[in-house]
Structure 1
């Protein structure tokens, strides 16, 4: 066809090797997930024999029944969903407000705030001072220990600022002429124009909140306030998943501790996997913020 350039043999070899390498990377990345899913859908006692690689040999939903029948796991799941939703929304709004203020050129002391924030990217107080601070604030064994310390991230603030500085100043000036104050401008103009970066930061923080097990392990002693990731960590670390089946009242001997671990892993991973495709287009736009000027 007119205008098409035929590839040389070297280019064809390169394309073939590149495609093979990408397929290999995809397989190495996705197969462990598939392996866990397949074994979680197989009877536990049968799975202990091994040899299950591609499809369940004896399909069963007993592992998931044991998980959902256990009140401890369901409570932990509720805590995880709650802290992810509340923590993500509050983090995005609070960080966006601070970033909008620091992106204004007329902010007094703005450069000092940025220098102090940059310092925190490289240095931190450490675990012991953080624990003492959380204790002094009265956040130990409190749901708010998941929310308040995670309200702000200077790294995410930098991403917000890069986006806000690309918004034409004429929009704000026109709004001020019409009598709008800074808060109204932020809510009515800035936020609606910032959907790509809002979705990007929401994805960052949502995944961080969902996967966080460390906060529940260090600051929470009340089992009713521990998230599912901390619960799963204790199952794996303490090999206590045999007790899960007993707590759930499962008398089916086809359920094992290992099969319950795998089913719990699938349940904790599935929500993020399902949400990501809907945010992907915003995620790509958000990651390109500041990289292309035009």
Structure 2
């Protein structure tokens, strides 16, 4: 009986799997906790100092202008009103400038992505004749410019003063973006190009049907950067545009900021734009409302394209 029980215990022990012990959690040291708290506190402080000015401007844009002039508005409107935005949209100049900014951003980004992308694709081919010379000329433009006066004379001789295209074409080619495109295209498998050539594709067909679909991250990333640049640009319009109907939103915002209109006359700005009489609108409240309208499209676009940022920029900046 003892022998049988001993054999049965051996069989039972052999059939059982050894129990895995749960790994012990490593206790965090005191200095690690202090460093983590310091990092989190720093990030919260940076986020607050970055976001609060934007939030405060948004609050003031929804607050009565004369009440906001008394101060004390921090995180919520004290006297809520939509008069500032009504006045913005009642002024035909502001609506026209908003349309110019939207058209400039859309058309300029499309042209820049096509021209810069195709330029980067061409310079990524080692068999391109004069490739090094072209790259050298492009690199020189990163360090040296033609100067403001020669550039103005060139734009004037081309007949582009006071035209929509002066807001788009002079900055259509971005050499830095071209270098990122070029590096990205160099990392694409050469077998794709060889297969496309066997099927009879030319370079344009290859770029549109093969390269472009595979390059959506870098196109989305650089496209957004280009759109932000076009949307925020104001200096070129201040030089080349003298007609009010071609001024972008940013230039009109600067005119509002620099204007010396007394607060009691700001309520009559609507005038011919619809006989608008706003009793609670001041220069500052109107400026904040205009600024929110100018910033809103870019803020709304970021969440949808943010996922392409890291992938697009890193892949385009690495070389095998």
Asked if the contact 1:245–1:255 (Cα under 8 Å) also holds between the matched residues in 2, the reply is no
1:196 corresponds to 2:217: yes
The 5 Å alignment of 1:212-291 reads 212-240=233-261, 242=266, 244-248=269-273, 249-291=275-317
Shift of 1:225: 0.6
The 5 Å alignment of 1:68-217 reads 68-217=89-238
Shift of 1:4: 4.3
Residue of structure 2 equivalent to 1:43? 64
Shift of 1:289: 2.2
Shift of 1:53: 0.4
Q: Secondary structure at the match of 1:218?
A: helix
Partners of 1:208 and 1:214 lie apart in 2 by 11
Residue of structure 1 equivalent to 2:11? none
Shift of 1:292: 5.1
Q: Which runs of 5+ in 2 are unaligned?
A: 1-21
Shift of 1:277: 0.8
Q: Secondary structure at the match of 2:74?
A: coil
Partners of 2:222 and 2:87 lie apart in 1 by 35
Shift of 1:293: 6.4
Shift of 1:238: 2.4
Alpha carbons of 1:6 and 1:246: their partners in 2 closer, same or farther (altered >3 Å)? Answer: farther
- Count of aligned pairs between the two proteins: 294
Q: 2:87 aligns with which of 66, 70, 88?
A: 66
Asked if the contact 1:117–1:154 (Cα under 8 Å) also holds between the matched residues in 2, the reply is yes
Q: Secondary structure at the match of 1:289?
A: helix
Partners of 1:291 and 1:129 lie apart in 2 by 33
Partners of 2:196 and 2:24 lie apart in 1 by 50
Which stretch of structure 1 is more off in the superposition, 186-195 or 231-240?
231-240
Asked if the contact 2:184–2:317 (Cα under 8 Å) also holds between the matched residues in 1, the reply is no
Provide Cα deviations, 1:58-91, integer angstroms capped at 9, x if missing partner. 1111100000000000000000000100000110
Partners of 1:234 and 1:95 lie apart in 2 by 33
Partners of 1:166 and 1:260 lie apart in 2 by 50
- Bigger radius of gyration: 2
Provide Cα deviations, 1:86-128, integer angstroms capped at 9, x if missing partner. 0001100110001100000100000001011111101101111
Partners of 2:227 and 2:317 lie apart in 1 by 24
Alpha carbons of 1:233 and 1:14: their partners in 2 closer, same or farther (altered >3 Å)? Answer: same
Asked if the contact 1:79–1:227 (Cα under 8 Å) also holds between the matched residues in 2, the reply is yes
Shift of 1:245: 3.9
TM-score w.r.t. length of structure 2: 0.89
Partners of 1:179 and 1:4 lie apart in 2 by 62
Shift of 1:291: 4.9
Partners of 2:312 and 2:256 lie apart in 1 by 37
Shift of 1:250: 2.4
Computed over aligned residues only, the root mean square deviation of the Cα atoms, in angstroms, reads: 1.5
Alpha carbons of 1:272 and 1:167: their partners in 2 closer, same or farther (altered >3 Å)? Answer: same
Shift of 1:244: 3.3
Partners of 1:133 and 1:18 lie apart in 2 by 52
Q: Secondary structure at the match of 2:125?
A: coil
Partners of 2:289 and 2:81 lie apart in 1 by 11
Partners of 2:255 and 2:65 lie apart in 1 by 20
TM-score w.r.t. length of structure 1: 0.96
